[in-house]
Amino acid sequence: MSELKKIYNPNREFAANARIKNMCEYKDLVEHATEDYEGFWDTYASSKIEWMKPYSKVLDESKAPFSSWFIGGKLNVSTQCIDRHLDKRKNKAAIIFEGDRGDKQIITYLELSYNVNRFANLLKNKFNVKKGDRVIIYMPMIPEAAYAMLACARIGAIHSIVFGGFSAEALRDRIQDAEAKVVITADGAFRKTKPYMLKPAVDQALQAETTVEKVLVVERNGEDVEWVAGRDYSYNELIVDESSKCEAEMMDSEDPLFLLYTSGSTGKPKGVQHNSAGYILWAQMTMEWVFDVKENDTYWCTADVGWITGHTYIVYGPLAMGATTVMFEGVPTYPDAGRAWRMVEEYKINQFYTAPTAIRVLHKMGENEPAKYDLSSLKVLGTVGEPIDPPAWKWYYEDVGNSKCSIVDTYWQTETGGHVVSPLPGATPIKAGCATLPLPGIMAEILDPKTGEKVGAGESGYMCITKPWPAMIRGVWGDPDRYVKSYFGDVKKDGKAVYFTGDGANYDEDGYITITGRTDDVINVSGHRMGTAEVEAAIKSHAKVAEVAVVGRPHELKGEGIFAYIVMKGEDNLAEEIELIKEINTNIKQEIGNIAICDDMVFVPGLPKTRSGKIMRRILRSIAKGEEITQDISTLEDPSVVSAIEKCIKG
Ligand code: WTA
């Protein structure tokens, strides 16, 4: 039997204890949601959230595709994550932190409460941050990043985390788009034991005109940083004066909780807005269902808080359910490829969640490392961010999980807030490289974009979600039209516009879903979304570049690599090209960050364009993959350009 079709049924013993134990229970939940959608969500919203004031209605679709959930309900997300656990779990570890250099901290729920309340008071009293104000968080992976998020939630401020790998210019764009009042950052942090810096990027970003009034700087690596008097303040100095009691702001179900900027196929990154109740409900429910974390378990997700996975599955989800979450500043392959497995052994990790890229790197660099450690605590292994290839899946399953752990291949997006398609550990029979089935309550379907009908087994279609769900994106910050156009413009089912994820997918003969990748101009590099338009803009900013087109191509470790076709102004000159590549890479680093550096750059005489001037990216994708060109090129303005490009690549 081919590896792809083989069905694994690991962990029966564990399943007996799981929250959803078997496929019958799964089907019952799906049926409940299908027959009584609002009743289904009401069951969970009423029991999982500690409401300050109950809601009067579950779902309001009258302004679709803008939907509202749990109408009139009041709550505070920080009390969901902290205060309500203090009765039963005040001395339980909320966060276990391991720093890059091996330094450790264990923060109990009581300590978390103490730190978050003081942080909230600082923002409120010293920086005058009020409900609805935007706060940018540009931080390393240290506990203060989680305190900052929860402190914002406590006072009703809207946080927007910018991944620390983004450049000053990318940071500035986000600060300006969000019209932020405050930036929270750190001097820097450590990577592979060496200090690196963050504060200088903030200084540079704030040279532009912005609405930022104050910058709060957490000390992490102790390196010297510039200080702007009256704007910059030291967290470590100010925090000591603050009281550990800060009343939680009463927030409406639909008050915004955070913005997170993510790449789309066109234009600048968009500020994906998530609101309070629906988001925190689904973050908790999926934590419970998909990872099945038990009271004494230790859960570790290796993401960075700068991405949605870090938001939902390092901070909000685990803390909402009262779990112990591990936060790791370092690199899983440093000082050697056993670092991650050593941590699993040391902390007796029960659920481990990472990206296929990390699995491929760990596999390549340390195929036999897992065997050197006691990994018997592991029960569930998760993957996220990109399709996982069967060889990586198999190594993860057999060598890391000892053929006993369920692999949960979780498919979701920044916009979905939490998982939407995933196996349930122990219950769902699994297949390599397959996200399996929609979670109960999520009406995910693969549709034919032309007819809006569900596709048959083996046919490809568009991954859609046909009903609103509580954790869905509420809007694109400052641009309601873009929300409608980006997500509800492509597919109609029964005449109604439905949410389209941007991904292609197919069903197998068991109805299992395999995600095949983006259908738009978004590249998935190491599980990070990159818009080709953004990378093209950065390359075009070089004075010698006349035209550019960027596409993705398969990459052994990163999933996809970035491939740029560049047309230079003036004469082609080999000696100059090497310099040019360096300079263009510098531009990319400045405008976006290291994560957008191109894997390939080729200088070509022209780009394949239609007579109306549209670049035929499909052809460029095929060439980048080294495929035979099967597309009809006769409609091109200049068909000879294709062979000229191929010649450049071979050369
Ligand atoms: C891709 C990350 C295949 C997909 C949580 C999606 C996946 C994009 C999977 C979202 C998976 C995520 N299998 N592809 N299990 N999970 N993707 O917003 O293309 O950073 O649209 O959210 O990652 O990336 P984002």
For 444-500, the pLDDT digits (tens) are 999 999 999 999 999 999 999 999 999 999 999 999 999 999 999 999 999 999 999
Give the confidence band of 3 by pLDDT, cuts at 50, 70, 90.
Answer: low
**Phi and psi (nearest 5°) for 384?**
-160, 150
For 232-275, the pLDDT digits (tens) are 999 999 999 999 999 999 999 999 999 999 988 778 899 999 99
For 509-536, the pLDDT digits (tens) are 999 999 999 999 899 999 899 999 999 9
Protein residue with least CA distance to atom 11, ligand 1: 411
**Distance from C-alpha of 559 to C-alpha of 414, rounded to nearest angstrom:** 19
**Distance from C-alpha of 227 to C-alpha of 203, rounded to nearest angstrom:** 9
Ligand 1 center from residue 143 Cα (angstroms): 26
Contact by Cβ (8 Å): 342, 373? yes
- pLDDT greater than 90 at residue 199: yes
Mean pLDDT (the chain) is 95
Question: Which CATH architecture fits 103-259?
Answer: 3-Layer(aba) Sandwich (3.40)
- pLDDT greater than 60 at residue 403: yes
| Residue 413 near ligand 1, beta carbon < 6 Å | yes
| Residue 560 near ligand 1, beta carbon < 6 Å | no
**Phi and psi (nearest 5°) for 5?**
-95, -15
Q: What is the pLDDT of residue 4?
A: 66
**pTM higher than 0.75:** yes
For 276-311, the pLDDT digits (tens) are 999 999 999 999 999 999 999 999 999 999 999 999
| Residue 181 near ligand 1, beta carbon < 6 Å | no
| Residue 262 near ligand 1, beta carbon < 6 Å | yes
Protein residue with least CA distance to atom 8, ligand 1: 413
Ligand 1 center from residue 485 Cα (angstroms): 20
Q: What is the pLDDT of residue 327?
A: 98
Class of the domain covering 522-650: alpha beta
Angstrom CA distances, 57 to 13, 69, 507, stand at 40, 8, 35
**Distance from C-alpha of 504 to C-alpha of 483, rounded to nearest angstrom:** 20
For 539-575, the pLDDT digits (tens) are 999 999 999 999 999 999 999 999 999 999 987 677 7
**Distance from C-alpha of 500 to C-alpha of 387, rounded to nearest angstrom:** 18
Ligand 1 center from residue 385 Cα (angstroms): 4
* Parallel/antiparallel/unpaired status of strands 528-531 and 522-525: antiparallel
| Residue 416 near ligand 1, beta carbon < 6 Å | no
Give the confidence band of 16 by pLDDT, cuts at 50, 70, 90.
Answer: confident
Residue 518 alpha carbon, nearest atom of ligand 1: 19
Mean predicted confidence (pLDDT) in 3-20: 81
| Residue 308 near ligand 1, beta carbon < 6 Å | yes
Q: Pick the closest to residue 624 from 538, 568, 558, 550 (CA basis).
A: 550
Mean predicted confidence (pLDDT) in 319-339: 97
**Distance from C-alpha of 561 to C-alpha of 535, rounded to nearest angstrom:** 12
Q: What are the domain boundaries of the chain? A: 1-63, 103-259, 522-650
Q: What is the pLDDT of residue 268?
A: 87
- Residue percentage of the chain with pLDDT more than 70: 99
Give the confidence band of 164 by pLDDT, cuts at 50, 70, 90.
Answer: very high
Mean predicted confidence (pLDDT) in 345-366: 97
Ligand 1 center from residue 527 Cα (angstroms): 7
